[in-house]
Chains A and B, each alone.
Chain A
C-alpha cells in the first residue's frame, strides 16, 4: 500500500510502486485536470506540484511521491481564485486549453519562488509546450498574477 496525499486528502492505494503519478491521478483518483501529452517529460501537460515544486508527473513513480504533498490543478484553489487563475481569465489566455493545467501549475510555482519574475525568469521556468501558441498572453498573465499575488500578501 502506498500513502499518497493529493490536494490535502490522504489516499491509501494498492498500486505498483512504479506506476507514474500521472496515471494514479487520472485513472485511479479520477483527477483528470492533469493531462497526458507525451509520457516522456517533454511537454509539461502533466505538471503538478510536489511539495510546492513543479514536476512532470508522467515520469515520477508514485512511490517517489509517497509521504509528500501533491497539488494538482484541482487543488490550486477551490474557486479559481488563485492569482494565476484570475490573471489567466483576465487575459483570456486559454485556447484549446489542454496544456493550461500544466502551464498554470508551473506559473504558480514560478511566482511563489520569484514574486517579481523577469522575462528571463519566465523563459527559464516556462518550458511547457502550448501547441495553440498562447505564449504571449501567458507571459502577460504571469506578470499580472505576480502583481495580484503581491497585492494579497
Chain B
C-alpha cells in the first residue's frame, strides 16, 4: 500500500515538515554522524504509528525519547518499554529525542519531558507501554483486515504479524502505513511484572557506538553554517553588576567580532572559541561587587550553626523528645556540617542559538527541553510556537542542566548577533557561576535507655531551601521537604522525636545536585546513628536492624549489603567496614564500604558493596552502571568536594582545585539487586549517592576511631597511631 494514499499522508507530511524545519532546511550538518546514530527528532523515515514511534518499510522502528540522556540510559530504557509491547525485533530499533516544539503544539503529546528525580521509568512506563501495545494491536488489525480474518486469530512477534491457521505472515514494514490509519475501539491492556519478555533483561545501550567514535553530538559539538562563538565573564560575586569595561583591547584582536555588555556580565563574540577567550582575557572589566563581597563559607556556617541553639520549625514530632531526653540513661550529642558542592559535569555549559525573523532555534544539552523552550521564548520575546529546541546528548547533567540560566544568557547574546552563535562557558566560569548543593549544619541530641535503646531524638538542621527560589509559596511554613529527606522520613523507630529545621538564605544560589537533600542529610544522620550504636555497644548493622520494626522491607536490603560485604570478617588495624541505609526516589539502598586509612591519614576506599531494591527492573546492566556512577560521584564529594566561598565568590574554578575520583582511586564495586517486585518501581540514577558517604565515614571510624563530622575528608586530620 502506498503511504501517500492513506490517512497517513497528512501525518507523514507534518513529520517531514518538522524534520525539514528542525534540520535540513537550515543546512544544519552533523559532523561524521551517520543518520542512524543521531539523536535528532525528525531523522526517522517511514510511517508514524503514533507520536512515539515510526516504522520504516525495512522494519526499522524509531522510538522517540522524551527525557534527556545524560548517561543514565533513558535513550535505551525508554525504547525498551515501548518495544516490550510492540513485539518488534530489538535489532531494528533506533532512538531519537522527541520534539519539545511538537509537544507544545500537540497538547503535550510527550507528556513530561523534564529529566530529574530518577523518575523517567517511574513516570513514563505506563504510557510508553500503552503506546507500544496500541501500535501492536493496530498492526494486527491492519493485517487481519487485509486477510479478511478476525484480529483475535492473529498474533505479533519479532516484527511480524502471523495468522497461524492459514500460515500467512507480514512484516511490520509492510503493514505500518495501513496500521497508522487504524482506529482501535478500545486500548489494549498492558503487561504487568511477571509477563515481561524484554524488560528485566540486560540490553546494550543504543548510544554507546556513537560515543566510541566521536560522532555523538553534544551541545558543544553543534555546527551551524555561518556560526560564531562567544564566551562570557560574569561578575564573580553573585548579585553584583558590571560597572564598565573598555572593549578596545579585545576588539583589536584577530577574529574578535563584538564585545557585549550585560547587566552583570561581559561577552566576547569571535570566529572561534579560543579567539573569544583571548578577547575576554584582554579585558579588565570593572565590577560593582555589591553587598556580598565579604561573604564567606566560614561566616555562613557560623550563622547556620548559631541557629541550631534554638528550636526550629517542627517538621515532624512524635511523643515528647525533650522530656524523654531528660529521663534518658545516656545522652549523645553531635554537630555535623556539609559543604556547598558544584556539579562539575564534564561538558561545560553551552548553548547555540539562531534567531531569525520567524523562528528561534536552540541547540543544547538540557535536562528539560520544555523549560529551554519557554526561557528562549521569554528572552527572545517570540511566541513559544516559534521556538525549536534541538536536544543534544548531555556531557553530564547531575541536576546542573535542569536549570536553564545558561540558555537565557545565550538567547540574550544571540539577540545581539546577526547569525547563529554558540556560547561556551569556560570550566572556571561554569563552576563559579554554578548553583550548588546547599551548605548545611546539623545538631543531634539523642537519649538511650539503660539497655541502649534510643528513646529520644532532637534532630535540628539549618540549611538552604532550593524550592524557595522556585516556588516561594511551597516553603511558606519555613519547611522545604526536599531539604528534609532522610531526616523527617527516617525509618528508624524512636518513640520521642522532634525533627526541626532552620531555613537559611545566603546570596549563593543553590540547586538540585544529584540525589539532592539526602546527600547532606544522610551523611549526618547515618553517621550519628553509628554514634548511637557505639553508645549502645552494638554492631552498627544490628543496631539499625532492630530499629526497622516499622519497615521490614528494608531489612533484606540492609542484610544483603552486610552479608555480601563479609561484614563480620575481622580486619587489620587501620581498616574498617562502614554501613549506611537510605531510601530515596522510590528505592531502598544499603551500602557497606571497606576503607583503609594509613597512619599518616591517607584514605583508600577498597570496596563498596551495594544492595538496591528498585522493585522491578527495565535494564539491569544500566542499573549496575548507575550504582557505580553514583558511588564514584559520592566518593568524589566525600573525599574532596567543596565550593569554598571567600570574598563573596567561589574561590576555585577548575579541576586542579576541585579534585574528583580517577581510575586509580576507584574501589571495587559490587552491586546486588534485592527486588521487592510487585507494583514497586524505584529510581536508579540517584539512590546510591547518599549512603556511600556515611558508609565511608563510618568505615573510617571503624578503622581509626576518628568520627567524621565535617566534609570533605581531605580537610580532616585522619592520622592515627
Contacts and interface: CB of A to CB of B under 8 A. Distances in A.
Interface stretch (B143-151, B344-352, B452-460, B587-595): B344-352
A38 B658 CA distance: 11
Contacts of A127: 662-664
B625 A96 contact: no
A3 interface: no
B100 interface: no
A123 B662 CA distance: 9
Interface residues of B, number: 64
- Size bracket of the A interface: 35 or more
B628 interface: yes
B274 A43 contact: no
A36 B666 contact: no
B655 A42 contact: yes
Between B211, B345, B427, B633, the greatest number of chain A beta carbons within 10 A of the residue's beta carbon is seen for B211
Contact of A135 (B207, B654, B662): B662
Interface string A2-19: 000000000000001001
Interface in A42-84: 42-43, 45, 72-74, 76-77, 80, 84
A131 B207 contact: no
Interface string B641-681: 00000000000001110001111101011000000000000
B430 to A, nearest CB: 10
Contacts of A135: 632, 661-663, 666
Contact of B212 (A39, A42, A85, A131): A85
Contacts of B345: 96, 131
Contacts of A95: 71-73, 625, 629
B213 A33 contact: yes
Given A96-B346, A133-B633, A135-B666, A33 B32 contact: yes
A93 B71 CA distance: 10
Which secondary structure dominates chain A's binding surface?
A: loop
A28 interface: yes
A144 interface: no
B438 interface: no
The winner among A39, A80, A99 for most chain B CB atoms within 10 A is: A39
Contacts of B229: 27
Contacts of A74: 32, 213-214
B197 interface: no
B153 to A, nearest CB: 40
Contacts of B348: 36-37
Nearest to B253: A16
Most buried by A among B274, B398, B630, B655: B274
B272 A98 contact: no
A128 B662 CA distance: 7
A96 B655 CA distance: 19
A56 B274 CA distance: 16
A25 to B, nearest CB: 10
B71 A132 contact: yes
A89 B274 contact: no
B273 interface: yes
Interface of B: 31-32, 69-73, 204-205, 207-218, 220-221, 223, 229, 254, 271-275, 344-348, 393-398, 424, 426-427, 621, 625, 628-633, 654-656, 660-664, 666, 668-669
22 contacts: A16-B254, A28-B272, A35-B346, A35-B395, A37-B427, A37-B655, A40-B655, A43-B655, A88-B208, A92-B204, A92-B625, A96-B345, A96-B346, A98-B346, A98-B395, A98-B396, A126-B662, A133-B666, A134-B625, A135-B666, A137-B628, A139-B663
Interface of A: 16, 19-20, 23, 26-28, 30-40, 42-43, 45, 72-74, 76-77, 80, 84-85, 88-89, 92-101, 104, 122-124, 126-139
